[in-house]
Structure 1
Amino acid sequence: MSLENPAALEFLQTRRSRPAKTLVEPAPTREQLLPLLTAAARTPDHGKLEPWRFIVLEKGAMPRLATLTEECGTSLGKSAEDIAKARSQFDMGHLAVAVIEVQQPSEKIPAIEQTYSAGAVCLALLNSALAAGWGANWLSGWQTHDRNFCRRAFGLKDNERVAGLIHIATEGTAPPERPRPDVAALTEWASQ
């Protein structure tokens, strides 16, 4: 039995995120989103700790998050430009999934491995959305690293932080291709 999947490999070699500002309605329904979350949850998870969870941000949540971004940015002394850029993902957002890293106590699994797993969930969700025909983009921003914003926006506990906000909706315009890394220059081969 062959495990080869040329179509999947071709997809991964040519995948391209869609800028969040180009995403338009419709966004996935709850029924359409669940298979994408299921695929993302199949991410490698050393120790089976499940060091992540999902918060689905539907259209109705976006105005609250935009306003909260502005409030927090003002209290932090952010420039008007920084605040406008940070809140724009909510002002223009249709649906996003906040992937929340949840650090689990473990004597065997270092915290950094749990962080890597949460990041892998973000990429798996992004790729699942793209493979399902949606436009998708992985964003963060200063507000996702601000404890006050995260507590007020998502009710995060001390052992939690935002790994990423995966925006998912319909692709409005196809993005141009961009330069890619020179894999040969980045690769070292060790034969001994």
Structure 2
Amino acid sequence: MFTALSLLQQRHSVPSRQLGEPAPDEATLQALLEAAIRVPDHGKLVPFRLVRLQGEAKLHFGEQLASIAIRNHPDMSDAKLEKDRLRYTFAPLVVVVVACLHADSKVPEIEQKLCAGNVAYNILLGAYALGYGAQWLTGWAAYDREVAGILGLAEHEHVVGFVHLGTPQIEVPDRDRPALADLLSTWTP
């Protein structure tokens, strides 16, 4: 019984700078994403969608982000500007997970966002299960409306995260994890 939990017990993020080729091939990616979208979805709203960044598109995306960054922060250092420009070029594939919020629904927005977040987490789990590495990142670009426009997002859509995918180029040590005893309590009336 507990061996089935080993995937959850061993999963860890691989820094995007340490993700190289190969990314999942097209058939594997399709299977991974089909599995990832099987999430709890109160109201069957499907409050999410995915945008793929791959190949030269990643560099073009980073260049547009750098333009926004320097316009918004003219005193930004060259190092920070270069970091924004190259941020999406390390992993061979980036999947942008987008929350598509239905304001007219009885389902609270937080539940819709959590649904989209579950998609991002399922991509992480699925990638690990398939032997790939992944990292879920946000950063300022996830919250910037001009960046949302570049990605073709509508006003009711928001980036939940950029999931970087590829093959780990190094062995990543696990980090310290919190103790369950510090987190679990029992409610009594």
* 2:32 pairs with one of 25, 29, 36: 36
Find the residue that maps to 2:136 and give its secondary structure: strand
Superposition map of 1:1-192 within 5 A? 6-77=2-73, 79-80=76-77, 81-152=79-150, 154-192=151-189
Hey, what's the Cα distance between the residues in 1 that align with 2:84 and 2:139? 6
Task: Tell me which amino acid in the other structure corresponds to 1:71.
Answer: S
Taking the aligned partners of 1:46 and 1:36, their CA distance within structure 2 comes to: 22
SS in 2 for 1:114: helix
The residue identity in structure 1 corresponding to 2:38 is R
Q: Is the 8 A contact 2:21 2:91 kept in 1?
A: no
Per-residue Cα deviation, 1:41-72 (whole angstroms, up to 9, x for no partner): 10111111000001111122111111011101
Any stretches of 5+ residues in structure 2 without a counterpart?
A: none
Whole-angstrom distance in 2 between the partners of 1:191 and 1:87: 52
Divergent runs of 4+, >4 A: none
Q: Report if aligned partners of 2:54, 2:94 keep a CA contact under 8 Å in 1.
A: yes
- When the two structures are superposed, what TM-score results if normalisation uses the length of structure 1? 0.91
Using a 3 Å threshold, how does the CA distance of structure 1 residues 104 and 133 change in structure 2: closer, same or farther? Answer: same
- The number of residue pairs the alignment matches comes to 187
Alpha-carbon displacement from aligned partner over 1:23-42 (angstroms, at most 9, x marks no partner) = 11111122110111111110
Q: Which runs of 5+ in 1 are unaligned?
A: none
Q: Percent identity?
A: 35
Structure 1 CA distance, aligned partners of 2:87 and 2:188? 46
SS of the residue 1:149 aligns to: helix
Q: CA RMSD in A?
A: 1.5
SS in 2 for 1:90: coil
The amino acid of 1:170's aligned partner reads T
Question: In the TM superposition, what whole-angstrom CA distance separates every residue of 1:103-133 from its partner, at most 9, and x where no partner exists?
Answer: 0244420111101111111111111111111
CA distance in 1, matches of 2:93, 2:134: 10
The code of the aligned residue for 1:117 comes to C
Following TM superposition, by how much is the alpha carbon of 1:7 offset from its aligned partner in structure 2, in angstroms?
3.4
* d(CA) in 2 for partners of 1:91, 1:107: 37
Alpha-carbon deviation of 1:86? 3.1
Query: Which SS does the other structure have where 1:64 is aligned?
Result: helix
